[in-house]
Structure 1
């Protein structure tokens, strides 16, 4: 399906994952979130948050990286139990899927999403949810092509005092 290896994220990957996440946010959310917020994102602080969660989390979150030739990081995805109002449910949630902008359209995102869906189904989850910015049409098309669909749930995501609407997508993993 792809030329990418998809191992679990390690503490050594945290700096690279933080760079991917922040570059991904700045690219995907330009014009959708306040630019000063995007400009102020800090790779070092983000890497430390990833490292702390990875080393001290409860193991319920699966972090995958995509490695291209030579082991270079080409993307990152994270999923785990669905958080419904802060309460975990039996369903899964894709928390994050980010790529460096130059990797868009190369199959990295599809490989990461396919693996997250596969692992979620193998873990016995019936459904996988994700939240996507309402006006992020590229991401919405990507998820729709992968079998996800908006289920009618919406909520505001506040960024620097600005409400940025999100819509929830869902996909059945079993049956």
Structure 2
């Protein structure tokens, strides 16, 4: 007799997922980045975030822009954003960017992140990308550890992200990468 399995999956996000993604993003960012980014630089308006997600999910700018959601039953517990890479040293034909991987802190350690990361890699490979990159906050040790354990590595690129456009809230980032083929 087999034991029951969890009702978990990953799929492409629908416009109807906008509110759940927005709520998860705002709540998770405020918790995960509390020690890395000033609180006033983080979004706190779930309604505004949901409207932005609704617009983005309804009309992506490029067919290769994707949002994937990790589900437990019908509840969104994580999401990832994929697109062609935009860095000047990347080729958007062969290089993709995983611009975000967010998992509900209360759902970590249950395999959602691994499923989401694998689905993102599979989606990017199906779009014929050969390499993926991701920018991580220099102090986000948990994300970097998760990615390096999954085969990603720092590629030596780094930058400062200006969060407020005035140069007063700068965040240092490092770029990680992984091969998507062979």
Pairwise same-fold verdict (TM > 0.5): yes
CA distance in 2, matches of 1:151, 1:173: 15
Match of 2:69 in 1: 65
The question of 1:80 aligning with 2:83 is answered yes
- Match for 2:179 among 155, 169, 172? 172
Please identify, of 147-156 and 57-66, the stretch whose mean Cα deviation from structure 2 is larger: 57-66
Q: Which structure 2 residue ranges, 5 or more long, are not aligned? A: none
Moved over 3 A (4+): 85-88
The structure richer in helix per residue is 1
User: Which of 143, 162, 168 is the aligned partner of 2:169?
Assistant: 162
How many residues are paired up?
A: 173
TM-score (norm 2): 0.88
What SS class does the counterpart of residue 11 from structure 2 fall into?
Answer: coil
Distance apart, 1:56 and its partner CA: 2.1
Q: In structure 2, the residue corresponding to 1:83 is in which secondary structure?
A: coil
Q: Helix, strand or coil: the match of 1:170?
A: strand
Deviation at 1:133, TM superposition (A): 0.3
Q: Distance in 1 between matches of 2:126 and 2:60?
A: 21
Aligned with 2:23 (options 19, 26, 39): 19
In structure 1, list runs of 5 or more residues that go unmatched: none
Q: Which structure has the larger Rg?
A: 2
**Structure 1 residue 134, shift from structure 2 partner:** 0.5
Work out which of the residue numbers 123, 128, 139 in structure 2 matches 1:119: 123
Identify the match of residue 128 of structure 1 among 119, 128, 132: 132
Q: Given the two structures, how large is their TM-score scaled by the length of structure 1?
A: 0.91
Segment drifting more, 21-30 vs 108-117: 21-30
